[in-house]
């Protein structure tokens, strides 16, 4: 059954969910107080890079199911379901900043004149659903009007969010009243997904626990990779071996330089903060966070091992976004590596297929911006691979060797096999594997 929906917030969560809900038949108004963002969307452009999203937005706007407005009050009054999809960034303490959620709740309260269902899509600390209910009621002109608050966390991955929505693995609905839970679950019925009904607090915890567990797998395999290097083992063989165990699974066991983005860093910190507030020492999670922070600098250590003093060197950095198929640089490893390279006196030239505009916001004039893979690496003393874009995993290695002033690649994503690099006489340092040393270059060290 078609529902009228107001999606409050047109960031990553709101725009993807609003567009996809429209695509499966609902009437959706995506609304935001940011007038520039709304104007951009009304002109047919989108403020984020997400494969397939721009075409889907255009299709559903043309079909009349999707619209964008800055008149949030009107959207609230016209819709049956009100989705809160605003940001919950990490504060200085590590806690989630829910000020935008509170502002949205109070705005809803001021314009709530008939019974509606409020759905929290934002990732929020445990107990926020109850707080939202109180904030709405305190702002209502008539606090006797009934309404429901439902927790419905999202699990979309940047870079594949549209596909993840359309093939949704599970739908979590946390509510007090079964009628409200069913109303929200029915919105996703066309997808044929499994729905798990829980309390609001359990739904809120499921989101944090899922991200913390995946982050744990990443930090674990990275710690194993660091140990593999010391004993001459190959972490990719190890990952395949343990990943074939059905109790463990192969997902998120790819060694590299750590996780980043808008979810894992802030959600692990937020869950750790909640544990502290509850008087529980969540030591395991704290170590996951610590391991990830340390892993970001692994490439820098390998580069120093290969070149020695970095002062005056020219270094190419390929990949700035935290993962492929997005321009999101929030907590990306590049944000730690590049300032460290600059501080060490290196001249840094950077390139990313889609994140160059975003990169200029972070790095300004401290780096040189490349125009393509081969132009970026030309004349550099070493090349660092930070994000595993297809453009970087399929380079012409003969051309790479000719263009680099010194044939050295430091790969934070294990994009190539050491054997291939050996064939092309490229000194190759990766994560959790024995380095390939270019014997022709007359270097006087051996790396293991």
The response to whether 264 counts as a known ligand-binding position is: no
Three-state SS string over 379-444 comes to: CCCEEEECCCCHHHHCCCHHHHHHHCCCCEEEECCCCCCHHHHHHCCCEEECCCCCCECCHHHCCC
Residue 429, φ and ψ in degrees, nearest 5: -115, 125
Angle at 225 between CA 220 and CA 227, to 5 degrees: 100
Q: d(Cα 120, Cα 111) in Å, to the nearest integer?
A: 17
The response to whether 253 counts as a known ligand-binding position is: yes
The response to whether 330 counts as a known ligand-binding position is: yes
The response to whether 64 counts as a known ligand-binding position is: no
Active site annotation includes 263: yes
The response to whether 177 counts as a known ligand-binding position is: no
The response to whether 256 counts as a known ligand-binding position is: yes
**Which among 20, 187, 263, 415 is annotated as catalytic?**
263
The response to whether 240 counts as a known ligand-binding position is: no
The response to whether 255 counts as a known ligand-binding position is: yes
The response to whether 326 counts as a known ligand-binding position is: no
The response to whether 296 counts as a known ligand-binding position is: no
Contact (Cβ atoms closer than 8 angstroms) between residue 359 and residue 370: no
Q: What order of strands is seen across the sheet that includes strand 427-429?
A: 368-369, 347-351, 314-318, 382-385, 408-411, 427-429
The response to whether 276 counts as a known ligand-binding position is: no
The response to whether 155 counts as a known ligand-binding position is: yes
219 CB burial (10 A radius; 0-12, 13-18, 19+):
buried
Return the closest-CA partner of residue 255 out of 394, 448, 430, 419: 430
Residue list, annotated binding site for NAD(+): 32, 37, 88, 123, 158, 266, 330
Residue list, annotated binding site for substrate: 155-158, 207, 252-256, 260, 323
Residue list, annotated binding site: 32, 37, 88, 123, 155-158, 207, 252-256, 260, 266, 323, 330
Query: Which residues form the catalytic set?
Result: 263
């Amino acid at each position: 059954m078609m529902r009228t929906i107001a999606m409050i917030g047109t960031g990553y969560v709101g725009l993807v969910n609003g567009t996809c809900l429209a695509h499966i038949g609902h009437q959706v108004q995506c609304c935001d107080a940011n007038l520039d963002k709304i104007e951009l969307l009304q002109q047919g452009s989108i403020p984020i890079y997400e494969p397939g999203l721009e075409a889907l937005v255009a299709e559903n706007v043309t079909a009349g199911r999707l619209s964008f407005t800055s008149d949030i009050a009107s959207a609230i009054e016209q819709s049956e379901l009100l989705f809160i999809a605003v940001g919950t960034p990490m504060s200085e303490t590590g806690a989630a900043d829910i000020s935008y959620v509170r502002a949205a709740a109070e705005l809803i309260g001021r314009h709530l004149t008939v019974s509606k269902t409020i759905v929290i899509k934002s990732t929020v600390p445990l107990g926020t659903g109850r707080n939202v209910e109180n904030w709405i009621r305190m702002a209502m002109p008539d606090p006797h009007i009934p309404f429901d608050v439902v927790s419905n966390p999202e699990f979309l991955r940047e870079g594949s969010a549209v596909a993840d929505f359309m093939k949704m693995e599970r739908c979590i609905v946390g509510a007090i009243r079964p009628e409200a839970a069913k109303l929200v679950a029915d919105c996703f019925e066309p997808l044929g997904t499994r729905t798990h009904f829980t309390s609001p607090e359990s739904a809120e915890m499921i989101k944090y626990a899922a991200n913390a567990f995946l982050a744990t797998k990443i930090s674990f395999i990275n710690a194993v990779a660091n140990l593999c290097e010391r004993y001459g083992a190959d972490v990719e063989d190890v990952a395949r071996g343990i990943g074939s165990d059905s109790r463990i699974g192969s997902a998120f066991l790819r060694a590299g330089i750590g996780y980043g983005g808008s979810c894992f860093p802030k959600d692990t910190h937020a869950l750790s903060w909640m544990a502290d507030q509850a008087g529980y020492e969540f030591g395991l999670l704290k170590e996951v966070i610590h391991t990830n922070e340390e892993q970001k600098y692994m490439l820098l250590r390998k580069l120093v091992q290969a070149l020695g003093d970095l002062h005056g060197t020219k270094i190419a950095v390929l990949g700035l976004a935290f993962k492929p198929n997005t321009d999101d640089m929030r907590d990306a490893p590049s944000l730690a590596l590049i300032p460290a390279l600059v501080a060490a006196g290196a001249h840094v030239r950077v390139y990313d297929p889609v994140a160059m505009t975003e990169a200029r916001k972070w790095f300004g004039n401290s780096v040189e911006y490349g125009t393509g893979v081969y132009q970026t690496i030309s004349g550099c003393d070493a090349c660092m691979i930070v994000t595993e874009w297809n453009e970087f995993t399929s380079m012409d290695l003969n051309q790479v060797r000719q263009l680099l002033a010194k044939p050295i690649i430091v790969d934070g994503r294990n994009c190539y096999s050491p054997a291939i690099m050996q064939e092309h006489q490229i000194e190759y340092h990766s994560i959790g594997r024995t380095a390939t040393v270019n014997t022709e270059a007359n270097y006087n060290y051996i790396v293991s």
